[in-house]
Amino acid sequence: MSNSLFGPLTDVQGDAGYEDHPPRMGFFTDTSVCIGCKACEVACKEWNEVPEDGIALSGMSYDNSRELGADTWRHVAFIEKPLHPTTSDLGLPGMGPPGWQETDAAPGHGDQGAESGESGVRWLMSSDVCKHCTHAACLDVCPTGSLFRTEFGTVVVQPDICNGCGYCVPACPYGVIDLREDDGRAFKCTLCYDRLKDGQQPACAQACPTESIQYGEVSELRERARLRVAELHEQGVDVARLYGADPDDGVGGDGAFFLLLDEPEVYGLPPDPVVTTRDLGSIWRSVGAAAATLLAVGIGSFVGSRR
Amino acid sequence: MVPEPEFESYYGRQILKTPTWKTPDVPLYLFLGGLAGASALLAEGAAITGRPALERVTRVAAAAGAGAGTAALVHDLGRPERFLKMLRVLKVTSPLSVGSFILAPFSGLSAAALASNLTGRLPRLGRLAGLGAAALGPPLASYTAALISNTAVPAWHEAHRELPLVFVGSGATAAGGLALVATPLAENGPARLMAIAGAGIEITAAELLKRRLGMVAEPYEQGRSGLLMKTARAMTAASAALTVVAGRSRALCALAGASYVTASALTRFGIFEAGRVSAEDPKYTVVPQRQRLEQRKAEAAASA
């Protein structure tokens, strides 16, 4: 079993046909130190000349870019969560908005995720990006070969080949890639392929003032991430967990993975994504059986109506 | 009534992207692919068994269905002028790629077979082309299920075992139905049988699908997509019953045939719409995945 479609894969580029290649590069986004400055969003737009995609207020906290898409390759999510009360409500007047209770959440809730003053709100911020999956569904289903695996193990669209069929869009288990409306082709994060080839780091990582976005070799980043989680657990932040760092997960691990302080779905991430091509064998077998059934129906229709 | 499951989300927003495939282009193509594929089978059977009227009708259906389907697919592209990029590579991981290599030769062969049938020229080559189209017919009618199943859309992906059967059943009812509309009684026996068999396969497979998928199948039963599916099922069942009792009535056969064709199209639009609903509601992404995680956790705890 070569694990080309599913499961852990130690040499992603080798599996894609590269003989000599640099190490696999990726992102470790440590959301515990994200301050929600959106420098990553701006740097990405500027460097990659990503078009404007609507300037409007969403009503979702400070998040006005809403989601990743053809014209948003870094997206900072803002979550305002009321803290869980640890004391019983005595019905005394409080300081926060109606319905929210004052709490005495444990201090030292990591650098982020600390309560903000009297409002009893826990802030979560996270810069989301294309996951550059080990088993990338967008790449698998692309019928033109426009989406390809780079020598760095990242997944990139070649705009001169994409014909806008849109197959990658519903294939992505994270809802990352999309078609650009006026252009018709698919776009997403390239992990700054052009900069990587020049030995530079991606624009978002360079712009991040808190090193929430860390760029480097995936193997090294995974190690760094494990140490960081252990450190946070030691500080009492037991909600810290890694997302996408496990090579045994449904996509063989992400090239861009995260340290989160709550369940993935709170950040708009799928809790247990699986690459659709895991079931490719079963899918084609079912199609084969159905085709054979139709052939039998066709033959039977004539045999059954002999005159 | 099952209580609505509780789950967390980011401001209630969808996690997956809504498929960008356009309506009516893509659901219409799903329908036309089934119609054309199964019609090519009927055409070859009619040629072998000497049913010239049935052969003519089904050759038209195969060629026109494939032609119109190809046009719908090309129109759906974000960059239609680049449609030939589809044939740049062949990838088994992409049903759209495999399908292009089924649809392209099918279109050519079915058109050639029809041209020969209409003009009477090159009869042997025409028959050979028809045989080729008949061989590609079942794959054409079934691969479209892989096309939509090989995505992250829960209602499509989780249904990947049953959808191909639903699709070939629906294709058989469409092809049999269209032939019933336009073929004289003396030659429509195979069309009747194909349509009845198709109806049975489609309805049974759709029922199995809904039972196996549980809450993920909700879009097939509720809302606009559910209404489309229910209407299609009722019409398919009614058409099958009508086919049985139609006897020697040409008018009743034509009525049943038209109803089959309409129902087949409604099925495809219903399945397509169900996918859209399934992608846009985070419930269908989060709840099954959460259950999966909890189950794994419980299993790990049990084995520890």
Instruction: State the average pLDDT over residues B3-25.
Output: 94
Return the pLDDT at A88. 47
Q: What is the rounded CA–CA span in Å between residue B233 and residue B211?
A: 16
**How big is chain B, counted in residues?**
304
Determine, yes or no, domain membership for A1.
no
Number of domains in chain A: 2
- B118/chain A closest Cα distance in angstroms: 23
Contact A270 B286 (CB under 8 A): yes
pLDDT of residue A161: 97
pLDDT of the residue at A3: 86
Q: What is the pLDDT of residue A106?
A: 42
CA dihedral (B7, B9, B11, B15) in degrees, to 10, reads: -130
Local confidence pLDDT in tens for the 307 residues of chain A: 478 899 999 999 999 999 999 999 999 999 999 999 999 999 999 999 999 988 889 999 999 999 999 999 999 999 998 876 544 455 555 555 544 444 444 444 444 555 555 567 889 999 999 999 999 999 999 999 999 999 999 999 999 999 999 999 999 999 999 999 999 999 999 999 999 999 999 999 999 999 999 999 999 999 999 999 999 999 999 999 999 999 999 999 999 999 999 999 999 999 999 999 999 999 999 999 999 999 999 999 999 997 6
CATH of the domain at A202: 3.30.70.20
Cα separation, A201 vs A64, in Å, equals 26
Question: Domain range spanning residue A183?
Answer: 12-274
Query: Does A226 lie in the same domain as A289?
Result: no
Distance CA B228, CA B103 (A): 27
Average pLDDT over residues B254-269: 98
A290: nearest Cα among B146, B232, B269, B105:
B146
Does the interface ipTM go beyond 0.95? yes
**Angstrom distances, CA of residue B233 to CA of A113, B33, B166, B172:** 52, 19, 11, 14
What's the rounded Cα separation, in Å, for the pair A171 and A169? Answer: 5
Let me know: does A298 contact B45? Beta carbons within 8 Å.
Answer: yes
A59's CB contacts (< 8 A; 6+ apart) are none
Q: What is the mean pLDDT of chain B?
A: 97
Residue B127, phi then psi, degrees to nearest 5: -65, -40
Are B79 and A174 within 8 A, CB to CB? Answer: no
Q: Average pLDDT of B275-300?
A: 97
Q: How many helices (H) and strands (E) does chain A have?
A: 8, 10
Integer CA distances (angstroms), A252 to A12, A154, A274, B93, B114, in order: 10, 14, 9, 17, 49
- Better-predicted residue by pLDDT, A104 or B166: B166
**In terms of CATH, what superfamily is B25-289?**
Formate dehydrogenase/DMSO reductase domain (1.20.1630.10)
8 Å CB contact between B81 and B69: no
| Chain B interface mutation, best of A62, A258, A301, A305, highest count of B Cβ atoms under 10 Å | A301
Domain shared by A16 and A77, yes or no: yes
A187 & A300 share domain: no
Distance of CA A77 to the CA centre of its chain: 12
User: What pLDDT, on a 0 to 100 scale, did the predictor assign at position A104?
Assistant: 42
CB B233 within 8 A of CB B262: no
Are A293 and A201 in a shared domain?
Answer: no
The distance of B168 to chain A (nearest Cα, Å) reads 6
Which of A60, A161, A279 has its CB closest to that of B11? A60
Please determine, for residue B35, whether its predicted confidence score (pLDDT) is greater than 90. Answer: yes
Report the percentage of chain B scoring pLDDT > 70: 99
For residue A45, the surrounding DSSP H or E stretch is: helix A39-48
Question: Chain A: nearest CA to B100, how far in angstroms?
Answer: 9
Residue A7 placed within a domain? no
Q: Are A294 and B38 a contacting pair at CB < 8 A?
A: yes
Burial class of residue B248 in the structure, from the number of CB atoms within 10 Å of its CB (0-12 exposed, 13-18 middle, 19+ buried): exposed
* Chain B residues close to A172, C-beta within 8 Å: 16-17, 152
State the Cα torsion B210-B215-B220-B222 to the nearest 10°.
130
Q: Report the DSSP pairing between strands A147-149 and A155-157.
A: antiparallel
User: Are A265 and B77 within 8 A, CB to CB?
Assistant: no
CA distance B6 to chain A (A): 12
Indicate if A131 and A216 belong to the same structural domain.
Answer: yes
pLDDT confidence of residue B304: 79
Mean pLDDT confidence for B177-193: 97
In angstroms, what CA-CA distances link A67 with A50, A51, A128, B292?
15, 15, 9, 25
Whole-number pLDDT of residue A55: 87
Task: Flag whether residue A13 sits within 8 Å of chain B, measured between CB atoms.
Answer: no
pLDDT at A105: 42
A60 falls within a domain: yes
Residue A38, classed as helix, strand or coil, is coil
Measuring CA to CA, which residue among A133, A132, A173 is closest to residue B288?
A173
Exposed / middle / buried, residue A304 (Cβ in 10 Å: 0-12, 13-18, 19+): middle
Q: How far apart are CA A252 and CA A248, in angstroms?
A: 5
pLDDT band at B247 (very low <50, low <70, confident <90, very high): confident
Residues 251-290 of A with CB under 8 A from B: 263, 265-273, 276-277, 279-280, 282-284, 286-290
In angstroms, the CA A297 to CA B192 distance is 11
> Residue B67's pLDDT is what?
98
Average pLDDT over residues B70-94: 97
Determine, for residues B77 and A305 on separate chains, whether the beta-carbon distance falls below 8 Å: no
Q: How far is CA A44 from the centre of its chain?
A: 16
A276/B37 touch (CB, cutoff 8 Å), yes or no: no
| Alpha-carbon gap: B115 to the closest alpha carbon of chain A (Å) | 23
Residues of chain B positioned with their CB less than 8 A from the CB of A186: 78
Q: What is the DSSP string of chain B?
A: -PPPPP---STT--SSPPP-PPTTHHHHHHHHHHHHHHHHHHHHHHHHHT-HHHHHHHHHHHHHHHHHHHHHHHHHSSSGGGGGGGGS---TT-HHHHHHHHHHHHHHHHHHHHHHHHH--SHHHHHHHHHHHHHHHHHHHHHHHHHHHSSS-HHHHTTTTTHHHHHHHHHHHHHHHHHHHHS-GGG-HHHHHHHHHHHHHHHHHHHHHHHHHGGGGHHHHSHHHHHHHHHHHHHHHHHHHHHHHHTT-HHHHHHHHHHHHHHHHHHHHHHHHHHHHHHH-HHHHHHHHHHHHHHHHHHHHHH-
Assess whether A37 and A150 both reside in one domain: yes
Nearest to A216 by CA among A177, A186, A257, A188: A257
What is the three-class DSSP state of A51? coil
- The residue of chain B nearest to residue A178, with distances taken between CA atoms, is B17
Instruction: Give dist(CA A159, CA A163) in Å, integer.
Output: 8
Q: Nearest-CA distance from A251 to chain B in Å?
A: 12
- Tell me what pLDDT residue B183 has: 97
Domain membership of residue A2 (yes or no) is no
Residue A69's φ and ψ, nearest 5 degrees, are -175, -170
Residue in chain A closest to B165 (alpha carbons) equals A290
Which structure tokens are listed for B222? 């509720």
CA atoms of A166 and A17, how far apart (whole Å): 25
Q: What percent of chain B has pLDDT over 90?
A: 97
CA nearest neighbour of A105 among A114, A95, A96, A93: A114
Q: What's the token pair of residue A88? A: 């019983």
**Tokens 């694990």 belong to residue:** A3
Residues A217, A295 within the same domain: no
Asked whether residue A148 is assigned to any structural domain, the reply reads: yes
Kind and range of the H or E element at A9?
none
